[in-house]
Amino acid sequence: MLIEDEPRRYNVIGFYEFDQRLNEAEHVDEKWISRLKSVFYDLDVTGADKSDMRVKQLDNIVKSTSELMLSLTDGDDQRKKLMSSAIKLARELKK
């Protein structure tokens, strides 16, 4: 998860800290995480309900994230070596 330290400056936090924020009722991030959870928690990703646009939203998020990751590794041989399996998955998910 990215957190904003200053305008346009971000730090990465790990899953442990993210999980702690998620479970702290008074933490500033809890409100938006709860909203996000309420939107996607019961989502049937099989797409059985064709009128549920949340499936398409998630698909767009996955494809955009894949494109972002591929653009950040393009031309960077060191990152490509370190992230080769993630890059392969990003290419598959982008389709």
Question: In the predicted model, what is the mean pLDDT of residues 8-28?
Answer: 77
Asked if residue 9 has pLDDT above 80, the reply is no
Q: State the Cα–Cα distance between residues 28 and 10, nearest whole angstrom.
A: 16
Flag whether pLDDT at 25 surpasses 80: no
Question: How many residues are given for the chain?
Answer: 95
Report the predicted TM-score, pTM, of the whole model to 2 decimal places: 0.57
- Contacting residues for 39 by C-beta, under 8 A, at least 6 apart: 54
Is pLDDT above 70 for 32?
Answer: yes
Weakest-pLDDT range from 9-13, 22-26, 44-48? 22-26
Q: Domains of the chain: which residue ranges?
A: 1-42, 44-95
Mean pLDDT taken over the chain: 81
